[in-house]
Structure 1
Amino acid sequence: MRLFDTHCHLMDGQFGDDLDSVIARARAEGVDRMVIPAVDLATARAAIHIAEAHEGVYAAVGIHPESAASARIEDYDEMERLAGHEKVVAIGEIGLDYYWDSAPRSVQQEVMERQIELAKRVGLPIIVHNRESTEDVIALLAKTQVGTSVGGVMHCFNEREEALRRCLELGMYISFAGPVTFKKSDDLRALAAKVPSDRLLIETDSPYLSPHPFRGKRNEPARVKLVADTVAYARGESVQACAEQTRENAHRLFWKVKP
């Protein structure tokens, strides 16, 4: 069984001392494809550096909403240059975050829209962060029609059924992470069962949101198998089938990733 962790922040400082061991443990669990999303230009360069050093590991470049306040016009030119790297497969992690509100909401929206337009210019999909900002995120996705052009994924989906329906209508993929495994996440598991098979993805969001029974501990890509187990059970299918389908979907979305 081969697994694809579509979202793991391996450039995070929590992996500073044992990154090679983390990747080795992932491979031992069958996780042979990973995408590292950036949160700003510095982490974009770090993600690319890691991807260059490890087979099957890829990078995304983007400005996270928590970094939006410091975004400069010249940053978009640099991001576009980095997007041409052979191991950069997406623009992300981008989006809106109204929980932390680290930047004015209008600024977050401008930064997200600029990056969507950049993604369309370079022909790469987007990785979308959404926290307590669903209506505005969906409005921007609808305005730009990115889901039906270069495509994109709603990372760590944790919304209601109406939001799921609208994101699917806009052409987006839906990715589940550790929260789908939590004991009180029955509603989220029910939604995982409703995602069309060709739009489903899995991830860890390492080092965050470690799945049950490791909740509260540092997460890592090896644990994406626990997400696959839970999603497969919710959908009434084998974990092998879930792994194969989500892998196929990830390769379709992140078309630069080698099969």
Structure 2
Amino acid sequence: MLIDTHINIHGEAYEEDREIVLARAREAGVSPMIAICCRLNEFDDVRAVAEAHEDVFCTIGAHPHHAKDRPDITPDELITIARHPKVVAIGETGLDFHYGYSPAEDQFASLRTHIEAARQTGLPIILHSRDADAQMADLLEEEMGKGGFKILLHCYTGGHELARRAAALGAWFSASGIITFKKAEDVRAVFAQDVPDDKVIIETDCPYLAPVPRRGQRNEPAFLPHVAEKLAELRDWSVEETARRTRQNSLALFHRLAG
């Protein structure tokens, strides 16, 4: 079985057929799945999906786009919510200077708050990074000096330098459908060259980024095997070995998945 480490399943995109989508995932060999919280005020909706399904887990966090919504969030608030038994990670959080929907100072403050929550809980932190390679690497190195925490750079699209600096900190890296895109040679090169064997996992980031040959469709967890097949090609692994390695790596990162 494959583990989809990043699904956005609680929103309108699946309002009409969420149960069918999750059933299709299981039929495709995908279970468990991690439902991601990107807005603090949506946690109850994300949690409800996780509570309704034995093989769906969830996270608590604020995407950098929404850092401005709660710039005063504290580690203690996140830690309290993270005590829920279905919560397996802190995030999604991070830095995004491509769109700049939140001021940089709010993004940095929010990210540091989430890191402290991850440090204190021992849960991994799920990071989004776009057009912020140097800033992200600098901040992670600084924060790691204050005390260790587990890092996941999800849907990795950064460059070689961030990958190498993050790998030196013990980070995990998640491959999405982007690795199947025709113009994603740079991303494929990172996954072929820079990511350690025991630190690579996979995700769909659905409903976004549907992999080839489903490009242009609403993405869903049942499409994860296409990501696994491309990763297998890049790493020169069999599909079976890819499933085994990515599952093992996911369970090492998200320790609450293993019970």
Q: TM-score, normalised by structure 1?
A: 0.95
Equivalent-residue separation in structure 2 for 1:21 and 1:249 (angstroms) = 28
Amino acid at match of 1:191: V
String of CA shifts for 1:122-166, please: whole Å, max 9, x gaps: 221100000111111111111111898231210011122222111
Contact 2:73 2:110 in 1 (8 A): no
1:208 CA displacement = 0.5
- Is the aligned partner of 1:229 residue 2:234? no
Q: Which residue of 2 aligns with 1:256?
A: 256
Q: Which residue of 2 aligns with 1:50?
A: 49
Q: Which residue of 1 aligns with 2:35?
A: 36
Amino acid at match of 2:171: M
1:78 CA displacement = 3.5
Pairing 1:91-130 to 2, within 5 Å after superposition:
91-130=90-129
Amino acid at match of 1:136: Q
- Is the aligned partner of 1:209 residue 2:213? no
Amino acid at match of 2:202: I
Instruction: Provide the secondary structure at the position in 2 that maps to 1:58.
Output: strand
Equivalent-residue separation in structure 2 for 1:29 and 1:181 (angstroms) = 19
The range that moved more, 49-58 or 190-199, is: 190-199
Amino acid at match of 2:161: E
Q: Describe the shift of the 1:111–1:146 C-alpha distance in structure 2 as closer, same or farther (beyond 3 A).
A: farther
Q: Describe the shift of the 1:73–1:79 C-alpha distance in structure 2 as closer, same or farther (beyond 3 A).
A: same
Q: Which runs of 5+ in 1 are unaligned?
A: none
Equivalent-residue separation in structure 1 for 2:146 and 2:217 (angstroms) = 34
The range that moved more, 248-257 or 9-18, is: 9-18
Q: Which residue of 1 aligns with 2:169?
A: 170
Report the number of matched residues.
Answer: 258
Q: Which residue of 1 aligns with 2:25?
A: 26
Amino acid at match of 2:13: Q
Q: Which residue of 1 aligns with 2:134?
A: 135
1:29 CA displacement = 0.6
Q: Which runs of 4+ in 1 moved over 6 A?
A: none
Q: Describe the shift of the 1:204–1:225 C-alpha distance in structure 2 as closer, same or farther (beyond 3 A).
A: same
Contact 2:118 2:150 in 1 (8 A): no
Pairing 1:172-211 to 2, within 5 Å after superposition:
172-194=171-193, 195-211=195-211
Contact 1:116 1:146 in 2 (8 A): no
Q: Which runs of 5+ in 2 are unaligned?
A: none
Q: TM-score, normalised by structure 2?
A: 0.95
Contact 1:98 1:131 in 2 (8 A): yes
Amino acid at match of 1:222: A
Contact 2:71 2:110 in 1 (8 A): no
